[in-house]
Structure 1
Amino acid sequence: MGWTMRLVAAALFLGFTVVVTRAQVRLSPCASTPLPDEDASFCKGSLEVSYTELENISCKVVPNCDNYREKITSWPPPLVKYPEASESATYMLVMVDPDAPSRSTPLARFWRHWLVTNIAGTNMKMGKIQGQELSPYQPPTPPPRTGLHRYQFLIYILTTQNISLLPQETVSPGAWQLDQFLTRFNLKEPAAATQFMTQNHMDPPPVRAPGGGGGGNVQIPPGGGSSEPTYKPKQASGLALPVCIHIAHHLWSG
């Protein structure tokens, strides 16, 4: 076989290999899939969220393989890194689930999974979440048969270090009035935001990630895909609603 024919054969073989490899990547159940457009619009800035055994899961769906959806419920806090952070600024990290107990009936939105204030810009840039922890990290634990949940991360630049939760906000992490909290400390648009999706590991995977947008009333940039639920529960008096929801959430997650 001449050199010309050998080069043609090699080129054809290489092209075939690339096509097969790409097809395998697309079909691999372990490949993290991007969020649908209506949910990806929530993501802003270069905020990275990386878990043990998983690379950056920002703006993606946790893959339904290697028990990742079960493992993530017991993994330690993720590496949250914001490379664009200003070294002279101070930041606050918020992690919430707007879909508690489910996206169709978010009676307990926003479920507070992590709240850390007074993070130095140099640490935020490197992914060292060191500061005043107002709410310790709670891993994603979507209840069975409630579909995909969004786990949202928001980074705010602080103008004051006197951030605190009200006594009633510390009773339960559920049904947290995030908008009121942000307004109380004059926090408007986040410097960066992202989210990922996962669901209970015992549930069959959905056909596709549901639409519906970003995060309810959270103050996010224009075009963030804000979507209010069609059903809005009446506010219960006192602390009855958050406490009941808190108990039910843990029963479902057990």
Structure 2
Amino acid sequence: MKQLVYLLFGLNALSHWKADSSINEEESICIIENSGNSSTCSSRQNLQVIYPELGNAACIIIPKCHQFQKHLSEEWGEPSIKFPEAKEDMMHVLIMVDPDAPSRKNPKYRYWRHWLVTKVQGKDLLDGKVKGKVLSEYRPPTPPSGTGYHRYQFFLYEQPDEAIITLSEHETKSFGSWDLDLFISRFKLGKPVASTQFMTQNYKD
């Protein structure tokens, strides 16, 4: 499943390594791998998920080097979301979920809701900004130790002008076991205009 895509040379780390021979050369080079074939990673859907230092995480396995997995779980906040094909005057719904909670072998809490924002303007997505009505605050990926790699999936939908999108009282009580399909059908969101995912594991594993 894992396909080598490219080598990422951390320029800042590399220059620091040259100045300090105590840093292992291995820490200056990251191997970035594809997260595998998935409908959420279609090449025609250019949805970018951008984190500090790492850059665009779309369709990759988050590497352990430079403590990227730890930064993702404990330090970095919400990513910038950029969709170059967005229509400026169109509103969107952004969803981030984990379908592998608590593990990919036993996803009894699928889907775990990590982020839900409505009324996101297309003009903001062109600039990588997520502004809108937050129904679920961003919760960083924190896969439990020993549960392997989790997929973190992002879906972008066009929001109908007349749609007033809310979470039910039942949905607000829990992030896990969220019926994503029911939510999509309830508000007639249809198919996503773009989607992507990345994979990561507990940084201590």
Question: Same fold by TM-score, threshold 0.5 exceeded?
Answer: yes
| Alignment partner of 1:182 out of 181, 184, 193 | 184
- Kept in 2, the 8 Å contact 1:62–1:69? The answer is yes
Q: Trace 1:72-151 onto structure 2 (pairs within 5 A).
A: 72-74=72-74, 75-151=76-152
Q: Which residue of 1 aligns with 2:41?
A: 43
Task: State the alpha-carbon separation in 2 of the partners of residues 50 and 119 from structure 1.
Answer: 17
Displacement of 1:24: 9.6
Structure 2 counterpart SS, 1:30? strand
Tell me the secondary structure at the aligned position of residue 142 of structure 2: coil
- The normalised TM-score by structure 2 is 0.83
1:46 counterpart letter in structure 2: N
Q: Does the aligned pair in 2 maintain the 1:152–1:194 contact within 8 Å?
A: yes
> Structure 1 residues 147, 23: closer, same or farther in 2, change over 3 A?
closer
Higher radius of gyration, 1 or 2: 1
- Partner in structure 2 of residue 55 of structure 1: 55
Q: Indicate conservation of the 8 Å contact 1:83/1:125, yes or no.
A: yes
Matched-pair contact (CA < 8 Å) for 2:98–2:151: yes
Q: Decide which of 201, 204, 207 is 2:203's aligned counterpart.
A: 201
Q: Which has the higher strand share?
A: 2
Go from structure 1 to structure 2 and tell me whether the alpha carbon gap of 1:166 and 1:35 turns closer, same or farther (over 3 Å shift). Answer: same
Q: How far is 1:33 from its partner?
A: 1.1
Matches within 5 A, 1:150-169: 150-159=151-160, 160-169=162-171
- What is the distance in 1 between the residues matched to 2:166 and 2:109? 21
Shift of 1:66: 1.1
Partner of 1:173: 175
Q: Report how far residue 23 of structure 1 moved.
A: 8.6
Does the aligned pair in 1 maintain the 2:124–2:131 contact within 8 Å? Answer: yes
Is 1:29–1:64's contact at 8 Å kept on the other side of the alignment?
A: no
CA RMSD of aligned residues (A): 1.8
Q: Pick closer, same or farther for the CA change 1:73–1:180 going to 2, 3 Å.
A: same
* Alignment partners' CA distance in 2, 1:161 and 1:23: 44
Q: Percent identity?
A: 46
- Equivalent residue for 1:208? none
Rate the CA distance shift 1:23–1:147 in 2: closer, same or farther, 3 A: closer
Identify unmatched segments of 5+ residues in structure 2: 1-5, 10-25
Whether the aligned pair in 1 keeps the contact of 2:7 and 2:32 (CA below 8 Å) is no
Structure 2 contact 40–196 (Cα < 8 Å) conserved = yes
Q: What residue identity is the alignment partner of 2:85?
A: E
- CA shift, 1:42, in A, is 2.2
Please give the secondary structure, in 2, of the residue aligned with 1:77: coil
Amino acid at match of 1:191: V
User: Which residue is equivalent to 2:34?
Assistant: 34
Report the 3-state secondary structure (helix = DSSP H, G, I; strand = E; otherwise coil) of the residue aligned with 1:105. Answer: coil
Helix, strand or coil at the partner of 1:139: coil
In structure 2, distance between residues paired with 1:97 and 1:112: 7
Q: Is the 8 A contact 1:91 1:124 kept in 2?
A: no
**Contact (CA 8 Å) 2:8, 2:31: kept in 1 or not?**
no
The gaps in structure 1 that reach 5 residues or longer are: 1-21, 204-254
| Cα offsets for 1:48-82 (capped at 9, x unmatched) | 00111101110011011111111101211011110
TM-score normalised according to structure 1 size: 0.67
